Every structure is written in structure tokens, then in C-alpha cells.
Structure 1
Amino acid sequence: MESDEAIRQAADWIRDADGLLITAGAGMGVDSGLPDFRGLQGFWRAYPALRLHGLSFEDIANPAGFASNPRLSWGFYGHRLALYRATAPHADFNTLLTWASTMKHGAFVFTSNVDGQFQKAGFPAARVVECHGTIHLLQCIEACTDQAWPADGFNPLVDNSTCLLENEMPRCPHCGGLARPNILMFGDWMWVTGYADRQERKLTAWLDSVERLVVVELGAGRALPTVRRFSERQGCRVIRINPRDYLISADVGVGIASGALKALQRLDNELYEST
């Protein structure tokens, strides 16, 4: 489907919908200035100190590092935590909130992002599923408890030249051991899933209440296809927005070859001009 036709079809679906499901991958945060770690060179541009260690994203985003080199692991995650806290969501998070406000059942978010940008933009935390966890919660590295707790009291100081954490590492309040982000990592058997599980149950109940669902998928790539597959299971009105991996079966939805910010602006203009 050509771009203009896809925009018109997508706008018709949004206009008719009584519930908006937003599914989002790393591309959603790129327009806010966040790195997406695409490819080894892209990862090293974001974290040049890790090139010196010869580490890939898969190497550092791995629970084994918290045992072998915890200050390096916390340097990486501490830097990301500080970056996400300091980053303002781009303007079109508000566009999605505006669309949702016109729908009977509002919006729900399903995202693989761990950055908390949707909540920061004004989406209620109870309406956001973070399927890979969140950097804004901590857990015990040994999973001594099934509880996670807010990272609010941890303010990381990181030496960017070495990617090493300089201040005290966070500890588990239950056993006193090392704490880690409540994020699903590579090769991870210790991720505490309680918070994510509760949010997914809320999403399931919400989906059961919606009669005319529209799915807006933003920046979800094929390398880790969790978000794309979830979108495709939700029916036949999926709007896939992605500058590269935008193709989607015609019986599932339409694809728009664009970054999130530009595509949402085009859709908003189409909705406005058609009213």
C-alpha cells in the first residue's frame, strides 16, 4: 500500500476505534534523542568505553556481568538510568494521549522499552505493560524475593571514560546482596516478573472490553520481534510505523515507512483535515 493511502486507511481506523493499543519498540525513543543500540557500531557510538572492553550489547546486558564486574555493569545501567531520567518525551506522545482521550476505552501501552518514557509523558502507570521490565525498579541479583522496588533513591555517578560506577552500588533490602535493574537481560533466569505479570493481566482485561481496537505500532524492529508478534495477534487493524521494517501482511494491517514522530504528525494532520 502506498504511503498516502496507508495514512488515510490508518486515520479511518483511528477515527472509528473505541480503544487504542500502542505497541512500541526502541524506535519510539529515538525521536526523543535516546540511542537504540542498533548494530555493534551503533552501540559503541553510544558507549565508546565498552569498545575498549570489546563488549557488545548482549555481553553487557547480561546478569553474569553483575557477578564478574559489577561496577562496569552498573556503570552501563547507571548511565542509562540517569539518561532516561533526564530525557523529555517527544511531542507526539501527547498526540497519542489526545487520540486516546476521544475513545471510550482510552489507551493501553505494550512496550519492550525499559525507559519509562510513556509514564513520564502522562500515560497512567496502570495502563503500561513493560514486557522486558523497567530500569526504574530494582531487584535482588539472586532473586531472594519476588519483590521489586523503586530505584528512586539510587543516583548513579558514572565515569564515562571507563563506564564504571563511582558511587555505592544499590543493595537488596531483604538479604543485603547486590541489587540489579528489574529488566529481562540476555541469558537471564533470575528476572523477577511480578510487576510485569500484573500489568499484563490488566491489559488482558482491557482488551476484552474493547470492541473496535486499533493498534499503533511504533519503532519495533525484527531483531527482537516480541512487540511485532504481539501487535499481529491483536486483529486486523495494525498500523506499523517503522523507517525500515515497516512491511506487514495486508490482512493484518498497513505499514508506514517513517520514524515515529513524522508519521504521527502526518496521521494527526489527516485526522484534523478530515473532521
Structure 2
Amino acid sequence: MSFKNMMTKEDGIGRKIRWLKKAIETAEAVLIGAGAGLSSSAGMTYSGDRFKWLFPDFIRAYHFPDMYSAGFYPYDTPEEHWGYWSRYIYHNRYEENDRKPYEILLGLVGHKDYFVLTTNVDHQFQLSGFDKKRLFYTQGDYGLWQCSRPCCDKTWDNEAAVRRMVTSQKDRRIPSAFLPHCPVCGAPMTMNLRCDNNFVQDEGWYAAHSRYEDFFRRHKSSRLLLLELGVGGKTPVIIKYPFWQMTAENPRAAFACINLGEAVCPQDIAKQSVCIDGDIGKVLLELKNDRGSDAEAVASLACSENKKSKE
């Protein structure tokens, strides 16, 4: 049975769950494209109660609405800048968080020839047990610093320095002695995040990119499942559009999108696709438990909870 014949119309979440379950089972390889929605499903939100709990002092001082806004604020001193960013890095990169959606996903695809392409920079895939050589973090890593100039194509692990900053800060500031500087030229360090043209693509970045290209070359004509999880519309050229194109060019491929409120695909690949509007973690749990008949209620509950959180 080909993927395109598994489902020719949308007829309920339960049927979609079973379609995706079969697609995973029969796939020769699985390419996962993951965005922020996957970590949000694990509870790693950047606004709301979590933000209020982690950054009450910064909120009192500046009335920030979320972590992103606070991260781009032009603080008066580098000590306060790193007071915020060290805490931001620690809670989103090093602190122990609930990784259940990631762990369930690994259980579903770990026995397959899989690869992960992600715009997430929180390192949760590797922390959840995914093979490092099957991951490509395109947009950087909270755990890496680079030179702000940049003077070279190098990055540096920041865990020890970040933990020291978090435990020593006072009044939203770190001690001046802990300000990070480039070991090569002495310029201030900055985050290794793709936010401008100074983003450093180091040796590890290029190695991961090469492994991703090799994976696609080997499987571009095979029974490939392209699984899009929580990808929004900010950078569709990285995951969303390429996944649609790969599906259109390969009649043996299948495309699946799980996203709360943003589960879509083009009409020309609809017969090869399934789009599930629901909480990613709960949908993955349904796939694990193989209870397709109960999934519609779960998805409805997830949508209801999401609406309440916005009220």
C-alpha cells in the first residue's frame, strides 16, 4: 500500500492518528522538522506563568511581556545584560525540564533511520537521548557563545560560566569579573544564535549540515516520512517549504504536520499528507498508546485548554 492511498480525505482525528501510525511503521526513513511548538508542548513556554515565575525582578523593573522581548532589550550595562541572559540560558538549556514529548517521539522513531532538522536552540533533542549525529540545529544553540565581532569561526561551550553567573548575580546583575570575552581577540562574547549576519557557522554546524544533505540524498526517492512538528510561519524556508517540496517530488513520500492551530499543507500534496490540529505532546502520546479512537477527544481538549490560556 502506498502512502497516498492510506487516506484520501479528512474524516476525524482518530483516523488521522491511525494513518500516521501506519506511515511511521512502513517508512524506510523519517525526517523530522521541529519548531518551537514542540518545546512549548513540553511546557517550555516563553511567556505567561513560567516567565513570571523565572523573571519577576526583570518584569517589575521593565514590565516585559515575555522572554523574547527581554532578551532584545538594550540594558544599560553588560552586567545586567548577562544577568538576564545567563538566567535565560540556564532555564531554557541546562535546567531539568519535562521532556516527555521528545522522549515519546524518540520511542516512536528511534528504531528507524531518522534525522532531525530543527530551528529550536534549546538542545532538548540531544538531552532527550537523540543521536547527536542525527541532529542539525540550523539556528544555533543556547549552550554556545561566539565572538561578537566575530573574529573567527569558532564557538565556545558556556555551561560552567552560565551556572557561575546565575548563582552569583545580585540585583539583576552579574559581577564584572564574570563578563565573557573572546579567548582569541578579547572582544565581548555574544550568543551563537542566528539573529543577524554575524552568526558563526562553526565546524560542528557544517558537519551537521553535511550529514543532513547526505541523509536526504540517500532517501529522496525512498518511502520517506516527513514529520513536521510545531513549525510556525516565521521561517518557513527552513523546514516547512522544503518538506512540502520534497513530498511533491517523491510520490512514495508522506507528509505529516502536527501543530496546535497551524496544521496545514498545500492541496497538491494533500493525498500524501495528514494534518493534525492538536497539542503535539498529547498527539504523540496517542500514537504511542495506539488509541486512535480516543484521539479526537484529546485534540478537542487541547484546543479548549489553549483557548482558556489565552483568555
TM-score category (smaller protein): 0.7 to 0.9
Distance in structure 2 (CA, Å) of the matches to 1:58 and 1:213: 35
Which residue pairs with 1:98 in the alignment? 107
Find the partner of 2:145 among 126, 138, 141.
Answer: 138
Structure 1 residues without counterparts, runs of 5 or longer? none
TM-score by structure 1 length?
0.82
Which residue pairs with 2:85 in the alignment? 77
Distance in structure 2 (CA, Å) of the matches to 1:229 and 1:164: 42
Find the partner of 1:228 among 216, 240, 243.
Answer: 240
Distance in structure 2 (CA, Å) of the matches to 1:42 and 1:219: 21
Instruction: Provide closer, same or farther for how the CA distance between residues 149 and 260 of structure 1 changes in structure 2, counting only shifts above 3 A.
Output: same
- 8 Å CA contact 2:38–2:101 kept in 1: the answer is no
Which residue pairs with 1:190 in the alignment? 198
Instruction: Provide closer, same or farther for how the CA distance between residues 43 and 102 of structure 1 changes in structure 2, counting only shifts above 3 A.
Output: closer
Residue 85 (structure 1) shift: 0.7
Find the partner of 2:259 among 242, 245, 252.
Answer: 242
Structure 2 residues without counterparts, runs of 5 or longer? 1-9, 248-252, 294-311
- 8 Å CA contact 1:27–1:220 kept in 2: the answer is yes
TM-score by structure 2 length?
0.74
Deviation digits for residues 6-26 of structure 1 (CA, Å, limit 9, x no counterpart):
212211211111212121111
Residue 47 (structure 1) shift: 4.5
Find the partner of 1:157 among 155, 158, 166.
Answer: 166
Find the partner of 2:227 among 191, 216, 225.
Answer: 216
The more displaced of 220-229 and 53-62 is 53-62
Find the partner of 1:23 among 10, 14, 33.
Answer: 33
Deviation digits for residues 136-183 of structure 1 (CA, Å, limit 9, x no counterpart):
111011111111121133123279996544561222111122111211
Distance in structure 1 (CA, Å) of the matches to 2:224 and 2:55: 39
Distance in structure 1 (CA, Å) of the matches to 2:180 and 2:259: 37
- 8 Å CA contact 1:158–1:164 kept in 2: the answer is no
Equivalent positions of 1:4-43 (< 5 A) are: 4-37=14-47
Residue 98 (structure 1) shift: 2.4
Which residue pairs with 1:124 in the alignment? 131
Residue 122 (structure 1) shift: 0.8
- 8 Å CA contact 1:75–1:158 kept in 2: the answer is no
Secondary structure at 1:129's aligned position in 2?
strand
Which residue pairs with 2:95 in the alignment? 86
Residue 256 (structure 1) shift: 0.8
Which residue pairs with 2:188 in the alignment? 178
Residue 65 (structure 1) shift: 4.3
**Identity %, equivalent residues:** 23
Instruction: Provide closer, same or farther for how the CA distance between residues 272 and 123 of structure 1 changes in structure 2, counting only shifts above 3 A.
Output: farther
| Number of matched pairs | 264
Distance in structure 2 (CA, Å) of the matches to 1:249 and 1:220: 15
- Over the aligned positions, Cα root-mean-square deviation in angstroms equals 3.0
The more displaced of 214-223 and 264-273 is 264-273
**Letter of the structure 2 residue corresponding to residue 259 of structure 1:** D
Residue 51 (structure 1) shift: 7.0
Secondary structure at 2:79's aligned position in 1?
helix
Distance in structure 1 (CA, Å) of the matches to 2:227 and 2:87: 30
Question: Is 1:109 aligned to 2:116, yes or no?
Answer: yes
